Chains A and B, each alone.
Chain A
Amino acid sequence: MSDSQQVLAAALTACAQGDKAGLRRIFDMEARRLVTVAQRILRRHDYAEEIVQDAFVQIWNKASQYTPERGSARGWIYAIVRNRALNALRDVKRWELMDTDTLERFQDASQDVFSVDLLASLEQESSLRRCLSQLDEQKRKSILMAYISGYTHGEIAGRLRVPLGTAKAWVRRGLASLRECMA
């Protein structure tokens, strides 16, 4: 993990110097995973690839801004893809290009992400795993729905059939407990 972080940091430095091999290295290491992350948010493979395509252009243009102070190299790269995907999702919802039924169906289909034992897929020694497992189920679910599938507070409330204020409180308290647990 830390080795690959060093390789990615070096690849970003190469991008900043105009060396396309650096970008290609990031692509070879991360593109499939990045498309996966974007698809969890956008639910469509073609949209996900478009987002990743744009994100790589942005990584190339912004690589010189990366410093370790901004977190791990992988975290920085993933944040670019996640932000683009989340923005695209906001745009899609705003125009309601997907009718509500379709959107519901997509979200139902993505529900299985939450029903499989996600925690079990995390590394045994992961502190995220330990701390998530200490949360109430609703708080854990709310946080995972937001992070993994880009659900809004309103969608979390609708999906878990609770008032908006309750969903917001679950997320807020869950996040506070996680911060404390992982500090």
Chain B
Amino acid sequence: MSSDEEAASERADSYVLGLLDASDSAKLEAEMETNSALRAAVAKSRDRFLELDLIGSEQPVSPGLWSRIDTSLGKADVASSGDQPRLEPGNDNRLGRWQKTAYAAIAASLVFATALTYTLVGTSRPQVIAILMDEKGVPLVLVEDFGNTSARITPLADFSAPADRSMQVWTLPNKDIGPTSLGLLDGWRTVTLDSRSLPTPHEEQLYEITLEQPGGSPTGRPTGPILVKGFGKVPR
């Protein structure tokens, strides 16, 4: 086996065992679409370990599970289902796999360009900026957190949320405070949310938007699927 094949097999095994972090997994999944050797290595690895899934006693399933699945399929047919938010593509091209990598680069340069704008234009300067991306790595939202006053949320691409869900913005100031709501988005447009009650935001602070039941999460913690997430950068 060549060293390339060996390296592909090693990555494939780590992926199949769940030992890669979320971003490395996503990277590998994207690469798999164009790299047939990697795809073959993943296929082999999955089938090598599959037997482990088939041993031991089985759990029963709730009697309603099939009808819940059936109902979700119906929703997915009509528009975007609750759990599978669909990005409205800006053009007819299907999202190419290579583009995911490109998007990450775009996001990075957006942070830089945004920071440059504050310097040049002298507008009020956010303490951190975060680009929130969906699970495919597409940047959808810009967050500018002005510290102990407000945070501005700016959509970067079109998106339609399911009509029966609320979009809720969250941040994780630190582990003691835990995930904290910045508020609900009442539409897909630029909005300013109140962040007065939160500590000063810091580098690498997590921001995300989840789809919650109408009126927001009932628990005060994120409960719904994550639409986008990203980490704060201090503009330099």
Contacts and interface: CB of A to CB of B under 8 A. Distances in A.
Given A57-B73, A71-B42, A148 B83 contact: no
Nearest to B41: A179
> Which 5 pairs across A and B sit closest by C-beta, in order of nearness?
A71-B43, A121-B55, A75-B46, A86-B18, A146-B17
B197 interface: no
B164 interface: no
A107 interface: no
Contact of A179 (B13, B42, B72): B13
A31 interface: yes
B135 to A, nearest CB: 8
13 contacts: A23-B73, A24-B66, A27-B65, A27-B66, A41-B18, A56-B72, A72-B46, A78-B50, A79-B16, A87-B25, A91-B226, A122-B51, A178-B48
A57 B59 contact: no
Interface residues of A, number: 66
Interface string B28-44: 00000000100110111
Contacts of A82: 18, 53
A74 B50 contact: yes
A76 B44 CA distance: 11
Interface of A: 20, 23-24, 27, 31-33, 35-37, 39, 41, 45, 48-49, 52-54, 56-58, 60-61, 69-72, 74-76, 78-79, 82-83, 86-87, 90-91, 94-97, 113, 118, 121-123, 126, 128-129, 143-144, 146-148, 150, 152-153, 171-172, 175-176, 178-179, 182-183
A87 B62 CA distance: 23
Contact of A53 (B46, B50, B51, B69): B69
Contact of A175 (B13, B54, B57, B60): B13
A126 B52 CA distance: 11
Interface residues of B, number: 54
Given A71-B42, A96-B175, A182-B48, A113 B56 contact: yes
Contacts of B48: 128, 178-179, 182
Contacts of B76: 57, 60-61
B178 interface: yes
B81 A49 contact: no
A152 B14 CA distance: 11
B44 to A, nearest CB: 7
B196 interface: no
A121 B69 CA distance: 31
Contacts of A90: 21-22
B19 A97 contact: no
B78 to A, nearest CB: 13
